[in-house]
Structure 1
Amino acid sequence: MGDKKTSGTGAGVSNPDRTNATFTTDELKHAFYDMVLIRRFEERAGQLYGMGLIGGFCHLYIGQEAVVVGIQMELKQGDKLITSYRDHGQMLAAGMDPRGVMAELTGREGGYSRGKGGSMHMFSREKHFYGGHGIVGAQVALGIGLAFANKYRGTDEVSIAYFGEGASNQGQVYESFNLAALHKLPCVFVIENNHYGMGTSVERSSASKQLWRNGEPWGIPGRKVDGMDVEAVRLAAQEAIAYCREGKGPFLLEMETYRYRGHSMSDPAKYRPRSEVDEMRKNHDPIDRVRRDLLSSGVDEAELKAIEDKVKAIVVDAADFAQSSPEPDPSELWTDVLVEG
């Protein structure tokens, strides 16, 4: 999956090649840092869940880091983000404080939703992150609402609506395609195709075998991208975001990626062979790819180790903060729940 050519074109859109990538060494370091931060944060979250410190559901992003990092590198202040329940990676890539994210996971007062949202329901108006959402596909309709607000205000800001291949055939997703195309809304639809909706493979659940073409009935251009390659992701994001900023309407990106863990922490993932996961980890890991690129560009191994040590300290600090932060006062049960007009 990782090295084969996966890009496709739709609605007459050109097909940029990954070999045209122009990442500087500093940009590669930035991508490496962000992806390692997401990976180590998620690993620590998994440990805290196993210790009983995270309740409810917890869906980890391990393996999919290149998708959010590559797209985030092309966004500017004011662009909006919305996603589903596998959301911690988007939060960290958007610059949300790891302390606040981990504290929310553990249901503590210092969390982004004051300990009442948990894994699925965190928000940051400062970072223009409008939440993870637990209802499959529901965030896509909200995503075009954010895009409508951008257009209504006369800005060139875009909305990024992330959803999985399991949500790609939801009715409200197609309704959103229609409205976004009809009103030329600046929304980039991003399908994170990790091949398994809960325990069902996409081959068994989708009659459409080319999800990047799902917007064609409404004239929405699409592209299939190697989502394990942060440079390929960024190149595709450049095209899609520029298309939206120019007022041409929505764009659809299918990111072919892979999650190493189960659907959630309670999923043993017995529906796929261990050899499949091992193959992805060994030959297509997005962090290993960037590490190799950095080493081949002359960056010293010691510098990469320093980045990893910095990330480790941040994650340890976030976990310590979460565990030392108090639980919400019972009076908080009634705050931030209802806004009266």
Structure 2
Amino acid sequence: MTSERRLAQAAPWTEVTTTTADWDAADPALLTTMYGQLLLIRSFEEYVLELAGAGLVHGPAHSSVGQEGGAVGSVLALADRDTVNGSHRGHHQFLAKALHHIEPKGLDPRADASADVRALLLRTLAEICGLDRGFSHGRGGSMHLRWREAGALGTNAIVGGGVPLAAGSAWAHRQAGTDAVAVTYFGDGAVNIGSTLETFNLAAAWRLPLCFFVENNQYAVSTSVEEATGEPRLSARGPGFGIASWKTDGMDPLAVHLTTRAALAHLRAGLGPALVEADVYRYFHQNGALPGSAFGYRSKEEERAWRARDPLALVARHLQRRGLFTAAELTESGERAARLVAGLGDELLEPAPGGRPGQRRVRPAEWPDPSFVDVGVRGDLAEFDGARYAEADTFDGQLTERRFVDAIAAVMARRMETDPSVVVLGEDVHRLKGGTNGATRGLKEAFPDRVIGTPICENAFTGTAGGIALDGRFTPVVEFMYADFMWVAADQLFNQIGKVRHMFGGTTAVPLVLRSKVATGTGYGAQHSMDPAGILATAPGLRVAAPSTPFDYVGLMNSALRCQDPVVVLEHVDLYLSRGPAPVDDWDYCVPVGRAAVRRAGARLTVLTYLAMTGCVLRAVDQVGVDAEVVDLRWLDRASVDWDTIGRSVRKTGVVLVAEQGAAGTSYGGWLADELQRRFFDWLDHPVQRLTGGEASPAISKALERAAIAGEAEVAAKLTEMAGY
């Protein structure tokens, strides 16, 4: 007969509650500061709702009124070197960390706020209102609050989107040899998001000093926790991943504080991540100043029961009970905080001309200049001052024939040797003698702590790399085994990494390189064979490099690693085993960002192409015998296209073909042809021609795959057709 044995989780799961004795033992300075932070944050949030009700906050106002105890109780346990990020409902998280940074010795609500505290509240309110003096010049608004100097890495509008980024911060803390930790705040809805669960696993596998702080406010918009999950005690998720977990009452700031201290001791001891679940309650609906009961998904009785446990009132009662505050001092402190916050509005607002009595508007001088709209989507490339550039035909070093894939490994080895900040991560990059294609050959042996094999979790490891880049101490190089896998990590690549520089004011460096292979023609089918260039090139914030020779790969990778923008480097499988000129021992030159290469001069027509299609075009031109100028684009994103080289060729030939292998629907040439016709209409003798694959994704069948993509034969046919123009 079978036998059964009940299994227990290896990681501890603990519930923490406080007693009167805990409150009596608490440091008076801690309780005073706790009350001061709670008062300021509550007053601030109530004022934001007032402005939102008056139409002075453009977009949502996700209030944290009622939830302040979780943020304040936990942040006051942190050190200034620790970092936090948060959710779309993150005013309280941001303010708690920033206030703790400004006033590390504590706040006394009986005294007037310092000039620094007032400046913080004013900048935060300005950001929420979308004004120029805000932390991100109004670009971030309510849901994207960031102050790096205070360790506030940014709140996030994508549910669960910030969790992988916090893992990157935690990794950087540990790699730098510090005992600092990262805390990522998110709600009950994010517990069910794939990026969150992926990061649970990654953090546990890597034993990162990361605290997952779940503010369980009982509802994801209007859907209750009980409806959304079979285990409403959300901290139960932690032990399943091997994460030590705690559950506590988030309406009790001291209980949160003591719980966080226990979690921090675990983290700083190097025992791996921690998870804290704090049960809290938002007094208002998802957005705005109406209660949830007004929308029918909560009862008034439920709301009254939670309000009776208000964290602000709880701390006030204990302060008075212990004789630390009088009733009059509590009242005066509340009035002082309200006056402070209202005064911020007086600085930003003025009476609306011709409006109703009491109606106000934003002072016109407070708005950002509309010309600022696109500034900082990418950096200005000032980091390339002093860079040494080279091209194969003018290179003054020694060249030799080398396999393309060997050039990848060689330049990465050189950069990791000369720059200790460079780290490599991805699936199997540390195994198989250099990953699945040999591109990381020898790196793990030479740099064992900087070549990191990841679990299969594209969202988590891409976001972790994003967090590492934003930390600023390291430069991550991420390998995606296939370009199609980018869409598994689309949130982190497009919503987070691609947008973060611009979203947070245009000055945030994101030194990240993502390498990925284009496997068109390898028989791997529809989900491993796409050319992503057409989508990547139109995504704001990313730069895209597409090398077609070993020499260019070296220079383009050096530029990608020097660049302070995120760069996607595409590698075509057909090129890996191809051979071409490469340096013998000089691996330090750059190919300029935004510089194309004329591979063949000609006067009859211009062909614009990239990656492996460059070789197809050159062979087809020789086969057909047409006098074509072949331009290898090399940089594909909108900001980096070499319009000067293209323009010279177009003015010379008047006829243009954009040739690519990939599918018609996601074609890179679609937007490029449109832009060519806008820029060079007066010099074009004919509409820009395009050559792409078919509509369908490549199939497994060799015959169907070949029919789905464009190659040398299709280029030759198109050139023959165009020769008659």
Over the aligned positions, Cα root-mean-square deviation in angstroms equals 1.8
Deviation at 1:59, TM superposition (A): 0.3
2:11 corresponds in structure 1 to 11
Mapped pair 1:276 → 2:302 = yes
Mapped pair 1:321 → 2:344 = no
In the aligned structure 1, how far is the partner of 2:10 from the partner of 2:309? 26
Indicate how the Cα distance of structure 1 residues 166 and 15 shifts in structure 2: closer, same or farther if over 3 A, else same. closer
Mapped pair 1:333 → 2:356 = no
1:13-66 Cα deviation digits (max 9, x unpaired): 666552363322222121111111111111110010111110111100000011
1:292 corresponds in structure 2 to 317
Query: SS in structure 1 opposite 2:214?
Result: strand
The structure with more radius of gyration: 2
2:657 corresponds in structure 1 to none
Q: Which of 55, 59, 63 does residue 52 from structure 1 map onto?
A: 55
In the aligned structure 2, how far is the partner of 1:261 from the partner of 1:169? 23
Deviation at 1:124, TM superposition (A): 0.3
Deviation at 1:157, TM superposition (A): 0.5
Kindly report which structure 2 residues correspond to 1:44-83, keeping only aligned pairs within 5 A, or say none.
Answer: 44-83=47-86
Deviation at 1:335, TM superposition (A): 2.5
In the aligned structure 2, how far is the partner of 1:277 from the partner of 1:255? 18
Indicate how the Cα distance of structure 1 residues 275 and 256 shifts in structure 2: closer, same or farther if over 3 A, else same. same
Task: Give the residue type in structure 1 aligned to 2:332.
Answer: A
Mapped pair 1:301 → 2:327 = yes
Aligned identity (percent) is 37
Kindly report which structure 2 residues correspond to 1:198-213, keeping only aligned pairs within 5 A, or say none.
Answer: 198-213=221-236
Indicate how the Cα distance of structure 1 residues 54 and 202 shifts in structure 2: closer, same or farther if over 3 A, else same. same
1:173-221 Cα deviation digits (max 9, x unpaired): 1110111011110000011000000010000011222211202122101
Task: Give the residue type in structure 2 aligned to 1:99.
Answer: L
In the aligned structure 2, how far is the partner of 1:247 from the partner of 1:18? 27
2:187 corresponds in structure 1 to 164
Q: Which of 126, 133, 139 does residue 110 from structure 1 map onto?
A: 133
Q: Which of 319, 334, 337 does residue 311 from structure 1 map onto?
A: 337
TM-score normalised by length of structure 1: 0.93
Query: SS in structure 1 opposite 2:134?
Result: coil
- Please say if residues 10 and 222 of structure 1, whose CA atoms lie closer than 8 Å, have aligned partners that are also in contact: no
1:141-182 Cα deviation digits (max 9, x unpaired): 111111011111111011000010011011111110111011
Task: Give the residue type in structure 1 aligned to 2:34.
Answer: A
With CA pairs under 8 Å and 6+ residues apart, which has the higher RCO, 1 or 2? 1
- Please say if residues 17 and 249 of structure 2, whose CA atoms lie closer than 8 Å, have aligned partners that are also in contact: no
- Please say if residues 94 and 155 of structure 2, whose CA atoms lie closer than 8 Å, have aligned partners that are also in contact: no
Indicate how the Cα distance of structure 1 residues 23 and 266 shifts in structure 2: closer, same or farther if over 3 A, else same. closer
Query: SS in structure 2 opposite 1:214?
Result: helix
1:244-276 Cα deviation digits (max 9, x unpaired): 111111000111110100011287622101121
- Please say if residues 87 and 157 of structure 2, whose CA atoms lie closer than 8 Å, have aligned partners that are also in contact: yes
Query: SS in structure 2 opposite 1:154?
Result: coil
In the aligned structure 2, how far is the partner of 1:196 from the partner of 1:10? 30
The runs of 4+ residues in structure 1 deviating greater than 6 Å are: none
Kindly report which structure 2 residues correspond to 1:93-242, keeping only aligned pairs within 5 A, or say none.
Answer: 93-95=96-98, 97-242=120-265
In the aligned structure 2, how far is the partner of 1:138 from the partner of 1:11? 26
Instruction: Give the stretch that moved more between structures: 69-78 or 16-25.
Output: 16-25
Deviation at 1:86, TM superposition (A): 0.4
Task: Give the residue type in structure 1 aligned to 2:335.
Answer: D
Q: Which runs of 5+ in 1 are unaligned?
A: 1-8
Instruction: Give the stretch that moved more between structures: 267-276 or 240-249.
Output: 267-276
Instruction: Give the stretch that moved more between structures: 298-307 or 182-191.
Output: 298-307
TM-score normalised by length of structure 2: 0.44
Task: Give the residue type in structure 2 aligned to 1:105.
Answer: I
In the aligned structure 2, how far is the partner of 1:214 from the partner of 1:267? 32
- Please say if residues 144 and 156 of structure 2, whose CA atoms lie closer than 8 Å, have aligned partners that are also in contact: yes
Q: Which runs of 5+ in 2 are unaligned?
A: 1-8, 100-119, 350-362, 382-562, 564-725
Query: SS in structure 2 opposite 1:138?
Result: coil
Query: SS in structure 1 opposite 2:373?
Result: helix
- Please say if residues 140 and 172 of structure 1, whose CA atoms lie closer than 8 Å, have aligned partners that are also in contact: yes
Instruction: Give the stretch that moved more between structures: 315-324 or 62-71.
Output: 315-324
In the aligned structure 2, how far is the partner of 1:10 from the partner of 1:191? 21
